[in-house]
Amino acid sequence: MYKNNKPTLRDIARALDLTVPTVSKALRNYDEISDKTKESVVALAEAWNYEPNAMALKLRTKKTMVLGVLVSQISNLFYESFLSALEEYARSEGYTLMILQSFGAPKEEFKNLEILKRNDVDAVFVSLSSKSCYISEFIQLHEMGTPIIYFNNVPKIEHCIKITFDGVKIGQMAARAMIINERKKILSVFLNSDSVEASDIRLQAFEEKLKKEAPLTTLKVERCRNLEDVEQLIASIFRKNKESYDAVFCLNDTALIGTIYAFKKLDVDFQKVSVLSVSNGLVPSLFNPLITYIETNGYKLGKRSFERFLDYQNGNTAYSNDKMDVCLKGDRYKMVVC
């Protein structure tokens, strides 16, 4: 039996009459160590709850039971709900999460991927930064047997596993709401941190439907870096003329919050300027009446992403591009205004 509160390699070696290097190599699955010795070392290490015991578990099950998650920033309502679902369902199957943030920096994203590789995670769930330039590293890891599941901000490549929302439907649904409410001058706001591909798909579908069914409608698209930028942009536009636009289409919650902040300060007449947002749902619900929004539910996406991982584990390793359905919250035939 070991003497200290936690067993050491020396304790295991002494108990099995082995050398410390032999025990260390056995736990790291060196080929020069016999299977019988490995089994003895792993069995005792697990019985004594030797740490790090993830290595011992790896030898027996070929799994670490750890899932890697890469996101730009955790302090985001969408990612918070995604992670909540992913952790809930992962925990129910005995997995734990290793969550790393890139803060939108491609180099940090690459460093984080290297950390996950060193920890032998069983899969990587990643929402790419908008300027991600290390796709080949993800592809290589997937080809080596570690599934990469892209969600929300996904790459343009086809040969991968992607789970996102139906961008075309989002754009068309938003355009339909504007047309029904007879909005003629529309400002669309999104952030540079948004997935460029996802935003482009949504905006393209939005613009195409407007051109087809309401050709006299004008559309202005603005990119912002952060919440402060959104607020300053909206303030500068509507301070000059409160009737510059009769609708604002916000492509995420940050754009929505910045827009409402500016409107409140300027005392914009919400009966004249409608607001429509793509949202996880919490922010629009804080206003009365409810701001109309197209729901992109992070919790549902997290649940589906984990289900896809289980499918992979059960043999469905084929590439796929799952597009989750979306819905408009509020009166489908009349856009709710603030």
The answer to whether the beta carbons of residues 240 and 255 sit under 8 Å apart is: no
Query: What is the pLDDT confidence band of residue 199, given thresholds at 50, 70 and 90?
Result: confident
Q: Tell me what pLDDT residue 4 has.
A: 58
The answer to whether the beta carbons of residues 82 and 151 sit under 8 Å apart is: yes
Q: For residues 62 and 65, what is the distance between their CA atoms, to the nearest angstrom? A: 9
Q: Tell me what pLDDT residue 309 has.
A: 96
Question: Which of 23-37, 111-125, 201-215 is predicted least confidently?
Answer: 23-37
Say yes or no to pLDDT of 115 above 80. Answer: yes
Q: For residues 7 and 168, what is the distance between their CA atoms, to the nearest angstrom? A: 57
Q: Tell me what pLDDT residue 332 has.
A: 43
The percentage of the chain sitting over the pLDDT mark of 70, rounded to a whole number, equals 91
The answer to whether the beta carbons of residues 154 and 301 sit under 8 Å apart is: no
Average pLDDT over residues 281-286: 87
Chain centre distance of CA 238: 33
The answer to whether the beta carbons of residues 187 and 249 sit under 8 Å apart is: yes
**Contacts (Cβ under 8 Å, ≥6 apart) of 182:** none
Alpha carbons within 13 angstroms on the beta-carbon side of residue 81 total 16
Say yes or no to pLDDT of 113 above 60. Answer: yes
Record the tokens describing residue 273, joined without a space: 């300027």
Query: Does the N-terminal peptide bond of residue 215 adopt cis geometry, omega within 30 degrees of 0?
Result: no
- pLDDT tens profile 289-312: 788 999 999 999 999 999 999 999
Q: Tell me what pLDDT residue 100 has.
A: 96
Helix, strand, coil shares of the chain, percent, nearest 5, are 45, 20, 35
Phi, psi of 231 (to 5 degrees): -60, -45
What are the residues facing 279 on neighbouring strands? 295
- pLDDT tens profile 206-228: 999 999 999 999 999 998 988 99
3-state secondary structure 226-244: CHHHHHHHHHHHHHHCCCC
Question: Which of 64-78, 113-127, 165-179, 195-209 is predicted least confidently?
Answer: 195-209
Query: What is the pLDDT confidence band of residue 336, given thresholds at 50, 70 and 90?
Result: low
Q: Tell me what pLDDT residue 157 has.
A: 85
Q: Tell me what pLDDT residue 335 has.
A: 60
Say yes or no to pLDDT of 91 above 90. Answer: yes
Record the tokens describing residue 91, joined without a space: 């925990």
Record the tokens describing residue 226, joined without a space: 């952060």
Say yes or no to pLDDT of 58 above 60. Answer: no
Q: Tell me what pLDDT residue 286 has.
A: 85
The answer to whether the beta carbons of residues 168 and 200 sit under 8 Å apart is: no
Say yes or no to pLDDT of 3 above 70. Answer: no
- pLDDT tens profile 245-256: 999 999 988 899
> How many other C-beta atoms are found inside a 10 Å radius of the C-beta of residue 294?
25
Query: Does the N-terminal peptide bond of residue 147 adopt cis geometry, omega within 30 degrees of 0?
Result: no
The percentage of the chain sitting over the pLDDT mark of 90, rounded to a whole number, equals 56
User: Which single residue is written with the structure tokens 């504007």?
Assistant: 178
Q: Tell me what pLDDT residue 334 has.
A: 55
Question: Which of 103-112, 119-128, 195-204, 327-336 is predicted least confidently?
Answer: 327-336
Q: Tell me what pLDDT residue 257 has.
A: 92
Q: Tell me what pLDDT residue 183 has.
A: 94
Q: Tell me what pLDDT residue 338 has.
A: 41
Query: What is the pLDDT confidence band of residue 53, given thresholds at 50, 70 and 90?
Result: very low
- pLDDT tens profile 118-155: 999 999 999 998 777 778 899 999 998 899 999 998 88
Q: Identify how many contiguous H helices and E strands the chain contains and give both numbers.
A: 13, 12
Q: Tell me what pLDDT residue 248 has.
A: 94
Q: Tell me what pLDDT residue 333 has.
A: 43
Say yes or no to pLDDT of 57 above 60. Answer: no
**Higher-confidence position of 204 and 290:** 204
Phi, psi of 182 (to 5 degrees): 55, 40
Q: What's the whole-model pTM score?
A: 0.75
What are the residues facing 69 on neighbouring strands? 99, 125
Q: For residues 211 and 285, what is the distance between their CA atoms, to the nearest angstrom? A: 31
Q: For residues 160 and 321, what is the distance between their CA atoms, to the nearest angstrom? A: 8
User: Amino acid identity of 14?
Assistant: R
Give the N- to C-terminal CA distance of the chain in Å, as an integer: 69
